[in-house]
A and B are shown apart, each in its own frame.
Chain A
Amino acid sequence: EAGVAQSPRYKIIEKRQSVAFWCNPISGHATLYWYQQILGQGPKLLIQFQNNGVVDDSQLPKDRFSAERLKGVDSTLKIQPAKLEDSAVYLCASSSPRFYGYTFGSGTRLTVV
């Protein structure tokens, strides 16, 4: 079984630029999560999708962050415009009720300069 795929692995941008991250979950996993992990901290949930609907986006800074999961498969997380404090690793995870557990991708390390 292929894992959760994320791209790019690294991204360096200047503040006020925009950036997008892509995630392809495990085939058949209905639930997809985006987490933000700032250096030295634990991952923080940004948004949770069930198929193509949003379940929880309470911690997503909606003035600058957006996410979509068209067709209930892969997902894109966008930041526009980026701030210095957005520097972090962005992790995508997926889960399925038939498989109890969560599988994480390798993450995208974003540096905003």
Chain B
Amino acid sequence: SQQGEEDPQALSIQEGENATMNCSYKTSINNLQWYRQNSGRGLVHLILIRSNEREKHSGRLRVTLDTSKKSSSLLITASRAADTASYFCAKDDYKLSFGAGTTVTVRA
């Protein structure tokens, strides 16, 4: 069973705009991770956020975590065409349980 639900399922934005996607999960977490996947191939790790953290940054990426609402969000600022990919959140309990993902298309 998949533990996370991403919203929206798909997102289309213009280059330079920000992209925000949300993830909700059902049970308590140790850690939550975000991954990117290009063209259905391997997954690339973006950010890990621990249950006692509320926000983390990595370059143009910002992840927030609200454990009271069992939700997380990923913000990509100043998007580029190369950001076109599918983005997944995954609950991390010494194994990853993925949501269905958000497909982001960045138009030039």
Contacts and interface: CB of A to CB of B under 8 A. Distances in A.
Interface of A: 31, 33, 37, 39-45, 48, 55-56, 59, 89, 91, 93, 100-107, 109
A78 to B, nearest CB: 21
Nearest to A33: B95
Interface string B78-108: 0000000000101000111111110000000
A106 B42 contact: yes
Nearest to A9: B41
Given A42-B88, A101-B48, A37 B95 contact: no
B1 to A, nearest CB: 8
A106 B41 contact: yes
A45 B97 contact: yes
B56 interface: no
Interface of A: prevailing SS: strand
Interface of B: 1-2, 4, 33, 40-45, 48, 88, 90, 94-101
B95 A42 contact: no
A50 B40 CA distance: 26
B41 A107 contact: yes
Contacts of A102: 33, 45, 96
Please indicate which of the listed interface residues B4, B42, B100 has the most CB atoms of chain A within 10 Å of its own CB. B42
A32 B28 CA distance: 24
B97 A41 contact: no
